[in-house]
Structures are given as structure tokens and as C-alpha cells.
């Protein structure tokens, strides 16, 4: 199930970005400090009372038909509103209701989305008493907050989560492999989906997905059921979403959350850019299996070194995703399209692989014998016991004498040793280090 999306909207200078930063706080989840695993400040992920959600900040909405810049900001806000499940409308207690506030309110009424009204800068009793005039905007009880001082934020989020869509369990069986094609705009995601579907002769049905307006396509190949999760899918405004970077990434995030395997699509003509790494980073961070798919391989001028050079470039740029296999394909000519689903099935199996505790401890013991653990101030790291605690992704817990002695480099060494013993192709591994006394 994809996490709900909350959009913060309002006219300029009411404190939207301050509220965004206050809600996000230090709760941004960055698994590793490596290139590609980053978050744009325009949107982020947060959580309140065990309810995770995505948060979008928007530019201030002002109504001036002569100002092209303001028109563009308004358009961006409309996109955010369209993507959102819940909207926080921010107004300014010190300014009262302005004409722009009323115009924004009209826009929100048309959206028919749940709106929570936040009256910012209500940081003293006098201003709190002035909240009542904001009832006239028509969104129920105004909630007084101070983004700058953190006042009332909990009350605001309590109200926001009341409007989250009911959590639905995915309607697919456990053995169904859920696949999404992710990547920046115009890399050929939709063309690849259509090429794959064109190769299939057993398409079960098109069913409404659990995310709003998305269509999941079910198909069967040689007895294995797949679901292709719509990411690029056309909504009301069609391709305009694809030309708006932050919303295309937001869509990728929501698709990743519902996927077992993510196909990171790169345009061979354009090469690798920062946005490719950013989107791939979200898949890695979420612990999903991944395959890097280089599309439009047919149109690239090639010599005897092109394949090797491009492969090395991918490995250099995607060092955090060294486990991901690479496919060079063409949606247009169908070149190697038939390899995609078998590779998806392979990495899905690796993603769900479980290693027996005894074998895992043998691997760890052998690794520590070959390269003894590091010492610090005369104390040596000792790994007492290891066990796999979950799959999708495979997650291991190492019980040690002192977690502070586990250096990142040694953790990576142990991961490499596990990968030498078991392929785990296409899946990240998670390693949790705990002191022996911990449960």
C-alpha cells in the first residue's frame, strides 16, 4: 500500500516552508550517505503516530494573470493538489483573510479533497482569539499553529491523519510478483510496458489498483503471475505530470512502496544523469529488488567497446546499487524484451531468499578467521551470533560484544562474504548490529 500524500498550500509568505521543515524535522529516512540516496526538500517523507506519509511543499499561490511566474507557481500547486490525499491550507493569523486566501479556498473546494485549515503565526493568546474569522473560509475548525515555534503542530497532524484513506490490503496473492518501471520522464517506461504486454499471450485482466487512478496490469508468464504497477500512467493532465520533475519522482516513490521489483529505466541516448541516480536511490532505500534497464539501446551508435564502457559507467554512477543486474533493451525493436520478466522472476526469488542460521554462522566464522574483526583502543570486535530475521529484503542481525566496534568497512566486508556464498542478485541486504545483551 502506497503511503498517503499531504500537500501544504497557501498564498505567499504564510509560512508553508517553515511548516514543512517543522513537520519533516529530523525524521527524514536516509539509509546510507551515498550518492543517489537523497531527498529533494520540496517533498519528503514523515510519520505521525505510526502513520507514514509523503509531504509536498508548494510555492505560494497568488492571482495575477499578468505574471507568468505566478501562473506557473499556481499550476505547480494545482498538480500537488491533484496528487494529494489531504491538503493543509496555511493562512496568516496576523494578516486575516485576504483575497488570495479566498481564491485558494475556491480552488480547494473544486478539488473535493479533505482540507485541514492551519492558521499560522498564532503564537500568543490574542492571535488565538482571532482564529474565529477563518471559519468563514468554510473548512471547519481552524487550528492555530506557530511553525516557527512548533506550537500546535501535533494538533494539526492529529487532524490530518484522520483524513487518510483507509488502508487496504493488496488484493494479490503472495506468490504474485509486483513490478514497477521507474525513472525520469521520457526514458521509455510506458513503451517498455507496452512492449512486454505485446509479447504476452495470457493477460488475465486490467484491475483498478489500490492507488488512486492507477491501473495495475496482471499477466502470467510460464506459470508465474506478475502485476505491472502503473507509474507513468496517464491521469487527467496526461504527460504534463511527466514534465514536472518532482511529481514524476513522487509517483515513483508511491509505486516503489507497492513493488517487489523495481526496473530502473535509463535512456541510452541521453546517458546517465543525476535524476536517474536519485530515483534509483529511492528503490535502494526502500529495500526493493532492482534491475537497471537501459532502453533505446538500438539507436546508440556503437563500436566494440560501447557495451563495456556503458556498463562501467553505470557501475561507477550506481555504486550503491552494485547488486543490480543490467539489461540493454529496446522497446521499439523488442530487442531483449523477452529477457525482462525472467530476470524479474530471478531477482524476486533472491529478494525472498532465506539462509539457514547454521550456514550463516559458518560464513561469518570463516570470514572473521580470514580477516579478523577490527580493534579499537585494545578492544576487538567479537561477533557472537548471526541470524536472518526477514526477507524482502534479506535482513540479518549480528549480535556482537560492542556495536561501536563494528566499522562500516567491516560490515561491508561481511556483506560481500555473504554474497559470495549466496547470489542475492538484484536485492539489497540489510545488516543490523546489536549488542549481545539486547533482545
Q: Does the annotation place 123 within a ligand binding site?
A: yes
Cβ atoms of 322 and 311 within 8 Å: the answer is: no
Please tell me whether residues 289 and 262 are part of one structural domain: yes
- Is position 232 annotated in a ligand binding site? yes
Question: Which residues lie below 8 Å from residue 436, measured CB to CB, with a gap of 6+?
Answer: 384, 385, 399, 400, 401
The pLDDT, as a whole number, for residue 246 is 59
Looking at residue 329, the DSSP 8-state letter turns out to be -
Residue 297 assigned ligand-binding role = yes
Same structural domain for residues 184 and 296? Answer: yes
122 is in an annotated binding site: yes
Asked if 181 and 327 sit in the same domain, the reply is yes
Question: What is the 3 state secondary structure string of 47-76?
Answer: EECCEEEEEEECCCCCCCCCCHHHHHHHHH
154 is in an annotated binding site: no
Domain limit, last residue, from 350, 376, 400: 350
Q: According to the annotation, is 259 in a ligand binding site?
A: no
Specify burial of residue 285 (Cβ count, 10 A radius: 0-12, 13-18, 19+).
buried
**pLDDT (tens digit per residue) in 412-422:** 999 999 999 99
Is there a domain that residue 422 lies in?
yes
**Per-residue pLDDT of the chain in tens (439 residues, 90 and over written 9):** 678 889 998 888 888 888 888 888 744 333 333 333 333 346 677 889 888 888 888 776 766 656 665 666 667 677 778 878 999 999 998 888 988 889 889 888 988 899 999 999 888 777 767 788 899 999 999 999 998 888 899 999 999 999 998 765 556 677 899 999 988 777 888 788 888 887 543 333 334 333 344 567 888 888 899 998 866 433 334 444 444 555 666 777 778 888 999 999 999 988 888 888 888 998 999 999 999 999 999 988 888 899 999 999 999 999 999 999 999 999 889 999 999 999 999 999 999 999 999 999 999 999 999 999 888 878 889 999 999 999 999 999 999 998 888 888 999 999 999 999 998 999 999 999 999 764 4
Yes or no: say if 417 and 431 are a contact pair by the CB < 8 Å rule: no
| Domain-embedded: residue 171 | no
State the pLDDT at residue 359: 96
On whether the CB atoms of residues 78 and 51 are closer than 8 A, the answer is no
121 is in an annotated binding site: yes
List the CATH number of the domain containing 346.
3.40.50.300
Q: 253 and 228 share a domain?
A: yes
Q: Is 183 annotated as a binding residue?
A: yes
Amino acid 12: pLDDT: 83
Please check if 419 is assigned to a binding site.
Answer: no
185 is in an annotated binding site: yes
**End-of-domain residue from the set 162, 185, 206:** 162
2 is in an annotated binding site: no
Kindly report whether the peptide bond that precedes residue 393 is cis, defined as omega within 30 degrees of 0: yes
Q: What is the pLDDT of residue 168?
A: 59
In a domain, 85, yes or no: yes
**Ligand-binding site membership of 50 (annotated):** no
426 is in an annotated binding site: no
Does 15 carry a binding-site annotation?
Answer: yes
Residue 101 annotated in ligand binding: no
DSSP 360-410: HHHHHHHHHHHSPPPEETTEE--EEEEEEEETTTTEEEEEES-GGG--HHH
Q: Which helix (H) or strand (E) holds 167?
A: none
Asked if residue 29 belongs to a known ligand binding site, the reply is: no
Do 146 and 198 belong together in one domain? no
Which three cell numbers mark 360? 550463516
266 lies in the same domain as 382: no
Grid cell of 182 as nine digits: 521507474
Q: Are residues 282 and 428 in the same domain?
A: no
17 is an annotated ligand-binding site residue: yes
pLDDT of residue 35: 31
> Has 233 been labeled as part of a binding site?
yes
Residue 14 annotated as binding site: yes
d(CA 385, CA 282): 31
Q: How far apart are CA 363 and CA 383, in angstroms?
A: 12
Q: What is the CATH number of the domain that holds 382?
A: 3.30.300.20
Do the annotations mark residue 264 as ligand-binding? no
Whether the Cβ atoms of residue 63 and residue 89 lie closer than 8 Å to each other: no
Same domain as 338, residue 201 = yes
Residues 117 and 37 in one domain: yes
Do 97 and 136 touch, CB atoms closer than 8 A? yes
Determine the pLDDT at residue 427: 97
- Please check whether residues 104 and 196 belong to one and the same domain: no
Domain count, the chain: 3
Ligand-binding annotation for 403, yes or no, is: no
Helix 357-370 and helix 408-421: axis angle, to 10°?
Answer: 120
> Is 329 part of any domain?
yes
Residue 237 and residue 120 share a domain: no
Question: Does any domain span residue 213?
Answer: yes
> Does residue 338 share a domain with residue 198?
yes
Is 374 annotated as contributing to ligand binding? no
Residue 190 annotated in ligand binding: yes
Taking residue 53's Cβ as centre, other Cβ atoms within 10 Å add up to: 19
Residue of 92, 93, 29 whose CA lies nearest to 55: 29
Query: Which alpha helices (H) appear in 6-137, and where do they start and end?
Result: 16-24, 68-83, 99-111, 125-129
Structural domain ending residue among the three candidates 130, 162, 194: 162
User: Quick one: pLDDT at residue 328?
Assistant: 96
Range of the domain at 381: 357-435
State yes or no: 184 annotated in a binding site: yes
Degrees to nearest 5, angle at CA 409 with 403 and 412: 90
* Per-position b or e across 325-343, b if 16+ CB within 10 A of its CB: ebbbbbbeeebbbeebbeb
Residue 168 belongs to a domain = no
What are the contacts of 131-140 at 24+ separation with CB within 8 A?
Answer: 131/93, 133/96, 133/97, 134/91, 134/97, 136/97, 137/89, 137/91, 137/97, 137/101, 137/102, 137/105, 138/105, 138/109, 139/89, 139/105, 139/108, 139/115
The answer to the question of whether 12 is labelled as a binding residue is yes
Amino acid at each position: 500500500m502506497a503511503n498517503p500524500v499531504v500537500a501544504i498550500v497557501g498564498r505567499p509568505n504564510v509560512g508553508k516552508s517553515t511548516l514543512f521543515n517543522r513537520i519533516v524535522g529530523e525524521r527524514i529516512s536516509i539509509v546510507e550517505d551515498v550518492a543517489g540516496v537523497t531527498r529533494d526538500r520540496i517533498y519528503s517523507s514523515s510519520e505521525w503516530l505510526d502513520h507514514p506519509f509523503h509531504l509536498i511543499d508548494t510555492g505560494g499561490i497568488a492571482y495575477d494573470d499578468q505574471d507568468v511566474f505566478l501562473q506557473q507557481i499556481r499550476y505547480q500547486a494545482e498538480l500537488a493538489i491533484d496528487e494529494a490525499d489531504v491538503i493543509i491550507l496555511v493562512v496568516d493569523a496576523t494578516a486575516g483573510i485576504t483575497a488570495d486566501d479566498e481564491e485558494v479556498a475556491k480552488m480547494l473546494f473544486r478539488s473535493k479533497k479533505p482540507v485541514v485549515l492551519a492558521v499560522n503565526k498564532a503564537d500568543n493568546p490574542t492571535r488565538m482569539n482571532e482564529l474565529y474569522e477563518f471559519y468563514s473560509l468554510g473548512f471547519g475548525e481552524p487550528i492555530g499553529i506557530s511553525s516557527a515555534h512548533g506550537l500546535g503542530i501535533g494538533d494539526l497532524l492529529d487532524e490530518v491523519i484522520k483524513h487518510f484513506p483507509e488502508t487496504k490490503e493488496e488484493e494479490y496473492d503472495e506468490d504474485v510478483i509486483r513490478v514497477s518501471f521507474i525513472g525520469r520522464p521520457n526514458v521509455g517506461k510506458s513503451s517498455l510496458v507496452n512492449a512486454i504486454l505485446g509479447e504476452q499471450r495470457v493477460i488475465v485482466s486490467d484491475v483498478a489498483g489500490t492507488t488512486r487512478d492507477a491501473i495495475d496490469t496482471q499477466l502470467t508468464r510460464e506459470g508465474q503471475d506478475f502485476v505491472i504497477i502503473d507509474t507513468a500512467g496517464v491521469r487527467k493532465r496526461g504527460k504534463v505530470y511527466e514534465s514536472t520533475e518532482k511529481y514524476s519522482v513522487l509517483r515513483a516513490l508511491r509505486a516503489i512502496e507497492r513493488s517487489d521489483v523495481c526496473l530502473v529505466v535509463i535512456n541510452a541516448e541521453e546517458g546517465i544523469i543525476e535524476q536517474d541516480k536519485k530515483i534509483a536511490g529511492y528503490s535502494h532505500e526502500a529495500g526493493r529488488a532492482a534491475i537497471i534497464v537501459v532502453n533505446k539501446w538500438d539507436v546508440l551508435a556503437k563500436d566494440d567497446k560501447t557495451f563495456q564502457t556503458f556498463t562501467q559507467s553505470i557501475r561507477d554512477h550506481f555504486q550503491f546499487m552494485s547488486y543490480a543486474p543490467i539489461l540493454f533493451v529496446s522497446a521499439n525493436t523488442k530487442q531483449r524484451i523477452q529477457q525482462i520478466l525472467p530476470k524479474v522472476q530471478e531477482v524476486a526469488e533472491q529478494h525472498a531468499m532465506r539462509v539457514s542460521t547454521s550456514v550463516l554462522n559458518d560464513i561469518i566464522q570463516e570470514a572473521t578467521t580470514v580477516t579478523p574483526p577490527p580493534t579499537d583502543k585494545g578492544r576487538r570486535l567479537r561477533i557472537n551470533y548471526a541470524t536472518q530475521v526477514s526477507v524482502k529484503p534479506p535482513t540479518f542481525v549480528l549480535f556482537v560484544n560492542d556495536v561501536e566496534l563494528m566499522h562500516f568497512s567491516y560490515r561491508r566486508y561481511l556483506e560481500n562474504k555473504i554474497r559470495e556464498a549466496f547470489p542475492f542478485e538484484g536485492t539489497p541486504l540489510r545488516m543490523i548490529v546489536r549488542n549481545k545483551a539486547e533482545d
